[in-house]
Amino acid sequence: MSLRLEHLNPEQLAAVTLPDEHALVLAGAGSGKTRVLTTRIAWLIKSGHVAPGGVLAVTFTNKAAREMFVRLSAMLPVNPRGLWIGTFHGLANRLLRSHHQEAGLPREFQILDTQDQLSAVKRLARSLNIDEDRFPPRELQRFVNANKEEGLRARDVPAGDEPTRRQVEFFASYDEQCQREGVADFAELLLRSFELLNRHEILRRHYQARFRYILVDEFQDTNRLQYRWLKLFAGPESRLFAVGDDDQSIYGFRGANVGNLAEFEKEYAKGKVIRLEQNYRSQGNILDAANALIANNRNRLGKNLWTSAGRGDPLRVFEGESDADEARFIAEEVGALKREGTRLVDVAVLYRSNAQSRVLEHALFGAAIPYRVYGGLRFFERAEVKHALAYLRLVATPSDDNSFLRVANFPPRGIGARSMELLQDAAKQKGISLFEAVDPKGKAGNFKKLIEELKSETENLPLPEMVEHVIHRSGLIEHYKKEREGADRVENLEELVNAAAAFTQEEHNLDSEEETSPLVAFLTHAALEAGEHQAGEGQDALQLMTVHSAKGLEFGAVFMSGLEEGLFPHDQSLVEKDGLEEERRLAYVAITRARQRLYLSFAQTRMLHGQTRYSLASRFLEEIPEGLKKWLTPRFARQQRAMSFDAPAGKRAYADNKDTYFPKKEPFFASSRESSGFRIGQNVTHPKFGAGVIVDAEGDGGDARVQVNFGRQGVKWLAVAVAKLQAA
């Protein structure tokens, strides 16, 4: 591959051959930004603007860095190894290796990966006699890393309360331990190199003079410290070239600051913004949908994707009666695509939350469609699910030694490795199970008592309630709630309750004659689904993944599932600053993964905590113009929902976007139910509040009132006699 500029479009060419100035390149999805970035580096070197050693190029992944090396090797007659190209952490490491003495590190300092760091945190916490229940090791690890990523040392962190003071003290002790042992974690690499350049003026001037051109990829994903780190390299003669897309900034939860793009424009680019808007991936209808959606975000730098590839198919929209119905549709449609000749590897099913994969996996399993969970594990293979299943297996069969070993000390309850070794030796000598070998007065005695209590407490409970009781009483829910990024794990545990409810219904429909208990039958089902059907290496397989995992990928056909208020956009986004806008950017990323065909689907009802949740279509679906969509089901289908007003007592209905539940009250409209025409789950319209769904009701006759979820307008209690409600 030689340096060929004739294949660039006018905007790409302008970016590649930019004069000697700072610039911001707004590169839309599928607009060829990697080609622009690498071609610019090659052009700068071949045209004599800079020697290879005068280029600093920063990417976010090792994969992107390797791709740049490969492309540049084909373009340049010189070895591109002379360039500084790599990730923030990789380049920081390179700097610290070269100046380890000035940085206060030994020559052969070791790097702690995430697991090594957690082990170091646990070891230090034990030596300081820190209560793991109050200060879980993962939370201490998060506290250390979060502050380092903000450029703070322990001395800089304000401690306004006693728990924060304890964490700050731990932070200081942790830094001392790392310094003593000659190790550095990932966050330390960037912070230590920043501190080195910040305080060492001679060294800073050396690198500012060396790096004439500084190029940064995925600038929208930079955090505050990374931006400050970059600015230390930029001297009076340096030129910064930032490539990014504010519409694809989706990592706020990791500390990414989308505002860095706007700040860079004001501080460096000063209005010199090149927009790459021609898309080489998706067809016109898909791009128009993405443009219309993202236009609802405020404070964008602004661009409009377009293509010369034609309009293409409309977006196909499916409304399922339930999440299982939605999953069946996806499985059937994937099967049809395969029969048409589409390779499964070129088809992706995207979801907002990992927990959504369970019902999809079940449908794919039933349809014999091979699949692969990209960047993650299948539902029944996830650690938190396996922990819960281990507790359930012990309830069913206390002699299950594998399950005992898995959870006897999880969540942590003070049973150390030595205690477990002694217990295993005792069990082996006596020829009995670990459970039987437990000394009631020993450290494992409380665990044995817990299992016995769980067995007694769940003996007469229906299977879903049994599962829910066990995951709460075991301490798993509370344990994961304490983790900063434990929300996904909690959702997966809650989805296990849904799996039990769905299994119970399926077994009822099959009228199974097996004599095993519901719990044993469910555990067998879980083992079978965990052990089969994930595609093997090299096998053509459907791709399942979260939208976050899909960033940077593309597929011929994409299914966006679960487009419901409270799910996508997620509940939490509605209470966080910029949360809704980041969710919209996430939807924008999902849409722009598709080349030819895009499916949008949602369900009228979805299982949550083993109960039925009534849903409204996502606002994102409404923000896409109707002219771009083809409804595969009647819009706002007038079918009756699963639950009527006289449903059995104890049923609960989803009431708002914050996971608030209201117990089902006494039946109402008992005498005039048919004449009223209203039922829980029914779509209705109101002259003031618009479209909604009935989620609860109380009273009778003229005193009857209904609770309606009007989406953005909120949840309202309305008196039926005067509400002017109409069936949708």
Separation CA 4–CA 602 (nearest Å): 46
What distance separates the 2 farthest-apart alpha carbons in the chain? Answer: 88
Beta strands in 161-313 (DSSP E): 183-185, 213-216, 239-244, 273-276
CA atoms within 13 A on the CB side of 298: 4
Q: In the structure encoding, which two tokens stand for residue 77, read together?
A: 């007659």
C-alpha distances (whole Å) from 241 to each of 9, 37, 296, 305 are 19, 9, 28, 21
Query: What values do phi and psi take at 448, rounded to 5?
Result: -60, -40
Which one of 11, 149, 218, 323 is the catalytic residue? 218
138, 593, 606, 679: the active-site residue = 593
Count CA within 13 A, CB hemisphere, residue 9: 15
Residue in 12, 59, 222, 248 annotated catalytic: 248
Strands 705-709 and 652-654: unpaired
99 burial type by CB count under 10 A (0-12 exposed, 13-18 middle, 19+ buried) = middle
SS3 at position 506: helix
Find where tokens 């045209």 sit: 47
Cβ atoms of residues 728 and 685 within 8 Å: yes
| Catalytic residue of the set 17, 34, 424, 713 | 34
Residues 6+ apart with CB under 8 A from 595: 281, 282, 283, 286, 554, 555, 556
Helix and strand tally (H, E) in the chain? 28, 23
Distance CA(261)–CA(248), nearest Å, equals 12
DSSP label at 309?
A: S
CA distances from residue 690 to 620, 626, 684 in whole angstroms, order as listed: 17, 18, 8
CA distance 460 to 478: 25
Active site residue 114: no
Q: Are strands 555-560 and 611-614 parallel, antiparallel or unpaired?
A: unpaired
How far is the CA of 195 from the CAs of 2, 192, 204, 549, 710, in angstroms? 40, 5, 11, 33, 52
270 belongs to the catalytic site: no
Secondary structure of residue 349 in the 3-state scheme? strand
- Provide CB contacts within 8 A for 633, sequence distance 6+: 317, 318, 319, 320
User: Is 639 annotated in the active site?
Assistant: no
Nearest to 434 by CA among 403, 388, 476: 403
d(Cα 141, Cα 23) in Å, to the nearest integer? 37
- Residues 98, 104, 110, 116, CA torsion sign: negative
User: H or E element: which one contains 613?
Assistant: strand 611-614
196 and 202 in contact (C-beta within 8 Å)? no
Which residues lie below 8 Å from residue 466, measured CB to CB, with a gap of 6+?
392, 395, 458, 500, 519
**Helices 201-210 & 224-233, crossing angle to 10 degrees?**
80
Secondary structure letter of residue 268 according to DSSP: I
- The single residue of 185, 217, 323, 384 carrying the catalytic annotation is 217
Q: Give the CA count within 13 Å in the CB-facing half-sphere of 253.
A: 15
From CA 9, how far away is CA 465, in angstroms rounded? 61
Structural contact between residues 590 and 599, judged by C-beta atoms closer than 8 angstroms: no
Cβ atoms of 619 and 569 within 8 Å: the answer is yes
Active site residue 33: yes
| Annotation marks residue 424 as catalytic | no
245 counts as catalytic: no
- Which of 585, 611, 569 lies closest to 712 in space, CA to CA? 569
Enumerate the active-site residues.
33-34, 217-218, 248, 593
